[in-house]
Amino acid sequence: MHSKIKQRDEDQSPTESPGNVGTEIRRLRNIRKLTLDGLSRATGLSVGYLSQVERNKSSPTVKALFDISHALGVTINWFFHEGATDERAGDRFIVRSERRRSIRYDTGIVDELLNTQAVKSFEFLMSTFPPGFTFQDEPYSHDGEECGLVIKGRLNIQIDGIEYQLGEGDSFSFPSSLKHRYTNPGEEETRVIWCTSPPTY
């Protein structure tokens, strides 16, 4: 865990556009009237690290963004970059490939949101994992259910203490309350279509 670093909330403003994750975190934190120090205590992340993220100097990890989202009372979906939509073109129920909302993490993961806002009980994602990637040193659990389909590369997933090796075309599904973790053991990127309920993002 990052060590605590003393730093004031009134540090420099974010250096990039409002669409960036850090800018959105800062905006929502201010709406919640929460200081950087308060967000640090709520997440266990250092003030210095959070300040770097808010100024778009550093991208958060998946776990860090999950913790930040939880502390701010939203899901990660709040921070997805908003793609252009045109309901007059019938896009209220359709996500065009060039208009996907996405988040890129400093671990190299890219998550793209595939469902529209017309559905609320589940989330549909495409996740791309770089070669050799490991998510979480230790297995973790949370509420809900999830399933996925490997459409490119290889994925090792550990569920309830058992590790499974998956290749292209293999799928999985399990209660998220079982401890789990996943890795890309290959030398090429892995791409997974993922569905979770209730929405984690």
Q: Which helix (H) or strand (E) holds 51?
A: helix 47-54
DSSP assignment of 75-103 equals -GGGGS------GGGTTTS---GGG-EEE
CA separation for the pair 136, 186 (Å, rounded)? 17
Tell me which residues of the chain have a pLDDT lower than 50.
1-19, 84-86, 88
| Protein fold of 21-79 | 434 Repressor (Amino-terminal Domain) (1.10.260)
What number does CATH give the domain 88-197? 2.60.120.10
CA separation for the pair 28, 30 (Å, rounded)? 5
The tens digit of pLDDT for each residue in 103-137 reads 877 778 888 989 988 888 999 999 999 999 887 67
Q: How far is CA 191 from CA 55, 107, 114, 122, 184, in A?
A: 29, 15, 14, 19, 10
CA separation for the pair 181, 61 (Å, rounded)? 15
pLDDT of residue 201: 63
CA separation for the pair 145, 130 (Å, rounded)? 24
Domain residue ranges of the chain, discontinuous segments joined by +: 21-79, 88-197
